[in-house]
Amino acid sequence: MRSLRALKKFENFKVADFPDIIKDIKQSKKILEPLTESDILDLEDKFLINGFHYISVKSIRAGRSLVFRFLRSLNCYQDEAILSMSTPTINDSVADIYYELVRGGHVDATSGYNLNEFFIGQFYYDFMWIEASEELVAAGWFTQFFEKMVNFKLNYHLPVLIISYQK
């Protein structure tokens, strides 16, 4: 039963373009605690099926708690990554993509964005989530970052969970 549901969802898989990300963030599924059985099964699919997946939670803390709970329970990824401009920083078991981009000079507005080098030489993750805060979505380099993800077809190779926050 489980694999049939996953295959059915994969049939409807589509490549997202950047203009759709804002609309998809606004239309993302709201996740409230306590999770229902339906929520758990839907989230499990989002964590296991390659592509862009959108959810909305009440806070960064709630989002991170949810992600870590599912990653721990599924125990199937070796290299998880987060793209977030929020503090506090994430624990050492998860790669902080924003830190890597800044440290490598890939998002320096004065010298231009050199994201190709990052994606070709440093992107090796098998699961990623993006904390789509207003600050991140408004950052000049984020548009190009998302476009590079689409151009390199990363959404075909790993699940990318895009988490927004309810107001």
Strands, E assignment, 6-124: 29-30, 51-57, 80-83, 95-96
Q: Three-class SS of residue 109?
A: coil
Domain range summary for the chain, segments of one domain joined by +: 2-7+15-165
Classify burial at 105, counting beta carbons within 10 Å of its beta carbon; exposed 0-12, middle 13-18, buried 19 or more.
middle
pTM of this structure: 0.85
State pLDDT tens for residues 47-67. 999 999 999 999 999 999 999
Calculate what percentage of the chain has a pLDDT beyond 70: 86
- Residue 152, pLDDT > 90, answer yes
